[in-house]
Amino acid sequence: MPTITFYGAAQEVTGSCHLISSSSLGDVLLDCGMHQGMRAKHLISKEQFSFNPASIDMVILSHAHLDHSGRLPCLVHEGFVGPIYCTEATAQLLPIMLFDALSLYENDLRRENRKRSRKGLADISAQYNKEDVLNVLECLKPFPYKQQVDIGNGALVRFYDAGHILGSAIVELTLDDHGKQKKLVFSGDLGNTDTLLMNDPVHLDTADIVLMEGTYGDREHKTLGDTQKQLQEILSNAFARGGNVMIPAFAVGRTQELLLYLGKLQQAGLLDNWQIFLDSPMAIEVTSVYDQWLPNLDCEGIKTLCTGEQTLLKNFLSTLHLMVDAEDSMAINKISKGALIIAGSGMCTGGRITHHFKHRIWDSRNTVIFVGYQANGTLGRILVDGARHVKLFGEDIIVKANIETLNGFSAHAGQAALIEWVSHFKTNPKVVLVHGEPDALEALACKLEQMHNIQADIPILGDMIEF
C-alpha cells in the first residue's frame, strides 16, 4: 500500500516536502522546499534531509516558489539524479529563483564564516554550489497543463492550473498498487479566485487522497474591489503626508499582480504623482517571463496588455522605473517624497527592502504596505504584529512609519474557496491538510466537518499515512 511521509509544511506554511513511497514506483518527492527566512548558519548547522536523497527516484514540483523548490540543489548535491517533473513556465522561472537563492546563500555563508574566523573556528563548508543548480536544471522534465505523462511502471502524472503563480500546478498522480489504481491529488498552493492576473484553480472530482494547502484556512480575503479601493486610499493618504511608500513583495506573483493594480489606478487617474521603483533585479527578470505568458493568463484582468503594445514592464505604467544595479537602488534614498518602492524580500528576511527600511521606517511620513503572507519569525511578521523597534544591520531602529496590510492581494485561496475546491471531489477521498499554521488548519478542518462531513487529517512533521 502506498504511503506518504511528511517532511515539511506540516503544521507550518513553508518547507513543502512530502515523500510518496510505493512498491511500483519507488520513492517520489512532492516538492523540495526551504523554510522561509532560513539563513546560512541555520541551513548548514541542521541536517538537511531525514531521508537519503540518493534513494529518491523522482521529484514532482508544484511550482517555483522557494518554499517548494529551494532545497532541490541540496538534494542533487547529496546524490539525487532522477527527473524533476514540472510545468513549462515553472521550468522558465526556476533558474531565476535558484540562482538568486544561491547568491544570497553564498553571501550569508561568507558572512557567517567571517564571524567564525574571528572566533578561531573552522569555516562551514557549502551545502551546494553553482554546479548543483545547473544539475537541477538538467533534471527538469517540463510539460504542459492537462497533458498526461507516463512516468513508469503504470504511474501517470498530470498538471492542472492552480492559479497561484505563473506555472503553478495541482498535481494528479496515479499509481499502480498491485493491479489497482490509486489516485493522489496534491493541491500545491491554490490561488485566490478574486485577482486580476491569474486564472482560477481548476476543479477536479476524482481522487483516493487529497493533500490540500490551508495557509488561509481560518480567514477570508477582501474582495478585489475593496482591495483596489483600500490601496488607493492608503496611497492617497501617504502622498498627502509628503512621504514615501515601501512595499515588500515576492518577486514571483505578488509583484506582477501589484504592477497590474497600480497600472489600473493610473489609468483611472487615481495614482497621484507617484514615481514607482521596481527595485529588484529578480522581480524584473521574472516579470519579463510573465510578459511572455500574458495571453495564457486571466484575459479579463490583462486583456489591455495582450495587444503587443503593452506589457507589465512596457508602456502600461508610465512612471515605472526598473532598478537593476545596487547604485540605482541606493539612489532612491535621495528622494525625499513621492517614491513608491517595490522590493524584496517579501517577508523582509533580507534583500533591498531592509535597506529601504533602515533609511525610512523611522519617519512617520512614510508607509509600509504588506501585500502578502508573513510567516512566524520573519521581520515582516514582527512589523505586522506591531513592533515599535526593530534591529537592522546591527542597529536598533524605531518604527514610526505607518504599517498597512492588504490581504486582498494574497495569492492563496481563502477559507471559503478552499472548502469549495475540495468539495468538488465525488469519490469521498481521504483529505489531508498541509502548508498552514496549526490554528488555520484546525479552523479549516472544523469547517470541513461542519459543512461537508469531511474528516480531515492534520499531520505533524515525520508522520506517515497509507492510502
pLDDT tens per residue, range 5-18: 999 999 998 899 99
Is 270 found in the same domain as 244? yes
**What does the mean pLDDT of the chain come to?**
93
The confidence score (pLDDT) of residue 179 equals 86
- Residue 76 CA to residue 133 CA, distance in Å, equals 8
CA gap 145, 167 in Å, rounded:
9
> Could you tell me if 12 and 107 lie in one domain?
yes
Q: Which is nearest to 159 in space by CA: 175, 151, 171, 167?
A: 171
pLDDT of residue 222: 84
List % helix, strand, coil for the chain (3-state, nearest 5): 35, 20, 45
Pairing of strands 320-322, 367-370: unpaired
Asked if residue 243 has pLDDT above 60, the reply is yes
Residue with cell 527600511: 357
245 and 123 in a common domain? no
Residue 442: which CATH number? 3.60.15.10
Question: pLDDT (tens digit, 9 = 90+) per residue, 72-116?
Answer: 999 999 999 999 999 999 999 999 999 999 998 898 889 889 999
Maximal C-alpha separation, the chain: 70
Please tell me whether residues 346 and 459 are part of one structural domain: no
Report the pLDDT averaged over residues 234-253. Answer: 95
Please give the Cα distance from 203 to 423 (Å, whole number): 9
| Residue for grid cell 493522489 | 184
Q: What is the mean pLDDT of residues 265-289?
A: 95
Domain boundary, last residue among 382, 409, 436:
409
- Model pLDDT for residues 382-419, shown as the tens digit of each residue: 999 999 999 999 899 999 999 999 878 888 999 999 99
Give the separation between CA 165 and CA 91, rounded to whole angstroms.
13
Q: How far apart are CA 167 and CA 409, in angstroms?
A: 18
- Does the pLDDT value for residue 269 go beyond 90? yes
The string of pLDDT tens digits covering residues 222-238 is 888 888 899 999 999 99
Mean pLDDT of 161-184: 95
Q: What is the mean pLDDT of residues 289-299?
A: 89
In this prediction, residue 349 has a pLDDT band, given cuts at 50, 70 and 90, of confident
Model pTM score: 0.91
Region 429-434: what's the mean pLDDT? 98
pLDDT of residue 39: 47
* Same domain assignment for residues 298 and 358: yes
* More confidently predicted of 96 and 347: 96
Give strand pairing partners of 20: 4, 28
pLDDT of residue 44: 46
Q: Which residues contact 135 (CB under 8 A, 6 or more apart)?
A: 73, 76
Answer yes or no: are the C-beta atoms of 462 and 6 closer than 8 Å. Answer: yes
Characterize the bridge pairing of strands 209-213 and 180-186.
parallel
The CATH number that applies at residue 237 is 3.40.50.10890
**Residues 262 and 212 both lie in one domain:** no
322 plus 370 within the same structural domain: yes
Torsion over CA: 217, 219, 220, 226 (sign):
negative
Residue 88 three-state SS: helix
Q: Please indicate, yes or no, whether residues 205 and 250 belong to a single structural domain of this protein.
A: no
Number of Cβ within 10 Å of residue 160's Cβ equals: 20
pLDDT at 37 over 90: no
Do 212 and 290 share a domain, yes or no?
Answer: no
Confidence label for 306 from pLDDT (cuts 50, 70 and 90): confident
> What is the amino acid identity at position 42?
H
pLDDT at 299 over 80: no
Percentage of the residues of the chain whose pLDDT score is greater than 90: 79
DSSP-assigned beta bridge partners for residue 370: 405
How far is Cα 15 from Cα 27, in angstroms, rounded to an integer?
A: 19
State pLDDT tens for residues 179-206. 899 999 999 999 998 888 999 999 999 9
Tell me the average pLDDT across 113-122: 94
Query: What is the pLDDT at residue 373?
Result: 80
The pLDDT-based confidence of 38 (bands split at 50, 70, 90) is: very low
Q: Which of 409, 426, 451 is the last residue of a domain?
A: 409
Q: Which residues pair with 140 in a beta bridge?
A: 84
CA nearest to 408, candidates 236, 267, 199, 228: 228
Q: Which domain holds residue 315?
A: 224-409
Burial environment of residue 95 by CB neighbours within 10 A (0 to 12, 13 to 18, 19 or more): middle
> Per the structure block, which three cell numbers stand in for 330?
541606493
Number of domains in the chain: 2
Domain C-terminal end among 409, 432, 451: 409
Q: Kindly state the average pLDDT of the residues 423-451.
A: 97
Could you give phi then psi for residue 343, rounded to 5 degrees? Answer: -150, 155
pLDDT band, very low/low/confident/very high, at 47 (cuts 50, 70, 90): low
Query: How confident is the model over 346-370, as a mean pLDDT?
Result: 94
Task: Find where cell 509544511 sits.
Answer: 9
Same domain membership, residue 41 and residue 102:
yes
Q: Mean of the pLDDT values across residues 17-23?
A: 96
370 and 423 housed in the same domain:
no
Helix (H) or strand (E) holding 127: none
Could you tell me if 162 and 267 lie in one domain?
A: no
Asked if 371 and 247 touch (Cβ cutoff 8 Å), the reply is yes
